[in-house]
Amino acid sequence: MSKVALGKPVPDLTLHTTSDQTLRLSDLQGKHLVLYFYPKDNTPGCTIEGQDFRDQYDAFRKLKTEILGVSRDTLKSHEGFKSKQCFPFDLVADVDEKLCKLFGVIKEKNMYGRKVMGIERSTFIIDRKGILRGEFRGVKVAGHVAEVLDAVKKLGKA
């Protein structure tokens, strides 16, 4: 499967999410989608990023935008993380890395002096018609959610 590209349709994958759901991207057509990839549940940066999306959730909803967080963690791990942080949005368990590979977010990283393959914090905006309209790679948590919200506002009624 080739990687996604700005201005092109995103393939209609099946996602396994918290709340015991199986969701297809096409199920969300008619709404914008913010898909944010993060390295690991219950880690400091990932927790803050999720909390920031949680705290701005109503603002995204007013713009007819859904939010999904994605990592390689299991559904069981996601359920605990979502519950503990009171996330109003679902998390996607991408244990087989299909979504990560499609969006090209698996990168070599340094962890305690060792080279490991992991998720590079990244966010993507898919419009109401399933077209990739925005991408943020190598994200720094501070101020990121506000930047994504501004980008969604600029999409308007696209």
Vertex 143 angle, CA 44 and 108, to 5°: 55
**Other CB atoms within 10 Å distance of the CB of residue 124:** 22
Tens digit of each residue's pLDDT, the chain (158 residues): 568 889 999 998 889 999 888 999 889 889 999 999 999 999 999 999 999 999 999 999 999 999 999 999 999 999 999 999 999 999 999 999 999 999 999 988 777 788 888 899 999 999 999 999 999 999 999 999 999 999 999 987 54
- Number of structural domains in the chain: 1
Question: Of 33, 34, 46, 67, which is the active-site residue?
Answer: 46
In a domain, 11, yes or no: no
- Here the tokens at position 14 are 């099946």
Domain-located, residue 12: no
In a domain, 15, yes or no: no
- DSSP of 104-115, one letter per residue? T-EEEEEETTEE
> Residue 116 and residue 107: Cα distance in Å, rounded?
8
125 φ, ψ (degrees, to nearest 5):
-115, 125
- 82 within domain boundaries: yes
* Cα–Cα distance measured from residue 57 to residue 42, given in angstroms and rounded to the nearest whole number: 19
Q: Which domain holds residue 104?
A: 21-155
Let me know if residue 27 belongs to a domain.
yes
What sign results for the dihedral spanned by CA atoms 53, 47, 122, 2? negative
Residue 135 lies in a domain: yes
Which residue, 34, 37, 19, is CA-closest to 79? 19
Residue 25: the pLDDT is: 86
Residue 150: inside a domain: yes
46 is catalytic: yes
Which domain CATH number covers 75?
Answer: 3.40.30.10
* C-alpha torsion sign, points 16, 19, 23, 28: negative
